[in-house]
């Protein structure tokens, strides 16, 4: 798949109609213990979340969920558990992002502007730290070297924190999918081709009803070309009687 098609696929995700159950800023409040667990045991959490995203069916596993050029070429069909373990330890960032894309494409979930800003800030900080490290290596200045080390530590701290919040966000979303927050619409395991293909068509919404404004029931649907439903006290046509019909017979003048 070309870079232009990948860019179009990323843009399509912005048009998805569903939202994450919890945004990145609220994950610590929503599930603080799991967020700490994801911070200190990040690769293990990534392994468990990917397995859970695949409905514990490792026959569906593809390296990086099918979003990378190496996907399908790493012998996943022979030993998916070992391949997933290698992915989460050697390509941890890609493993988290792939699980995220997998959930977004399965449930038509878009990323909010706030989440995009947090992820973008993480990437920008890593790039700045890398530039400072290169400049410090070329110039040989002690001050620039210390500044580059501070920036590198800050970038790593932000990276670990954002990844922990992101994995907690994925876990909460799957809790919602599995009905741990109360009754949810019935869900079935989606077909394999809808799980991890970036070049597939935009999948239909699975398990999430179209969102209505809070507190308002959905508008009733009327067949095209038919009058509205009858109203109490009026004829079966659903329309009030014409003015000539007033007053009704027998009404005192």
pLDDT interval class at 194 (50, 70, 90): very low
SS3 120: helix
pLDDT of residue 6: 63
Q: What is the pLDDT of residues 105-119, one digit of tens each?
A: 889 998 788 888 998
| Alpha helices (H) along the chain | 3-13, 27-30, 32-40, 42-53, 80-90, 92-107, 113-139, 142-177
Measured CA angle at 85 (ends 120, 54), to 5 deg: 75
Q: In terms of pLDDT, which residue wins out, 151 or 13?
A: 151
Q: What is the pLDDT of residues 61-96, one digit of tens each?
A: 998 888 787 777 777 888 899 999 999 999 999 999
**Residue 168 to residue 32: CA distance in whole angstroms:** 9
pLDDT interval class at 183 (50, 70, 90): low
Q: What is the pLDDT of residues 142-167, one digit of tens each?
A: 888 888 889 999 999 999 999 999 99
**Residue 249 to residue 253: CA distance in whole angstroms:** 10
pLDDT of residue 43: 95
pLDDT interval class at 180 (50, 70, 90): confident
SS (H, E, C) 140-175: CCHHHHHHHHHHHHHHHHHHHHHHHHHHHHHHHHHH
The whole-number average pLDDT for the span 199-222 is 48
- Report the range out of 5-19, 25-39, 61-75, 181-195 with the highest average pLDDT: 25-39
**Residue 208 to residue 106: CA distance in whole angstroms:** 10
Average of per-residue pLDDT values in the chain? 77
The whole-number average pLDDT for the span 192-206 is 48
Break the chain into its structural domains and give their ranges: 3-112+167-180
């Amino acid at each position: 798949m070309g870079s232009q098609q990948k860019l179009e696929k990323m843009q399509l995700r912005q048009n998805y109609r569903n939202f994450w159950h919890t945004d990145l800023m609220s994950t610590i409040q929503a599930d603080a213990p799991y967020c700490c667990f994801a911070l200190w045991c990040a690769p293990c959490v990534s392994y468990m979340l990917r397995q859970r995203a695949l409905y514990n069916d490792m026959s569906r596993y593809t390296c990086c969920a099918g979003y990378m050029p190496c996907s399908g070429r790493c012998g996943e069909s022979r030993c998916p558990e070992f391949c997933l373990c290698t992915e989460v330890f050697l390509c941890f960032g890609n493993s988290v992002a792939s699980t995220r894309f997998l959930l977004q494409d399965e449930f038509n979930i878009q990323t909010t502007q706030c989440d995009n800003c947090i992820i973008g800030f993480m990437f920008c900080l890593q790039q700045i730290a890398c530039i400072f490290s290169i400049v410090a290596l070329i110039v040989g200045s002690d001050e620039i070297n210390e500044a580059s080390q501070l920036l590198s530590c800050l970038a790593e701290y932000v990276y670990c924190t954002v990844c922990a919040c992101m994995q907690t966000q994925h876990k909460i979303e799957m809790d919602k999918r599995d009905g741990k927050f109360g009754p949810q619409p019935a869900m079935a395991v989606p077909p394999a081709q809808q799980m991890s293909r970036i070049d597939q068509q935009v999948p239909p919404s699975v398990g999430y009803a179209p969102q209505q404004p809070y507190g308002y029931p959905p508008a009733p649907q009327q067949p095209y070309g038919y009058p509205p439903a009858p109203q109490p006290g009026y004829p079966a046509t659903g329309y009030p009687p014409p003015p000539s019909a007033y007053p009704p017979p027998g009404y005192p003048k």
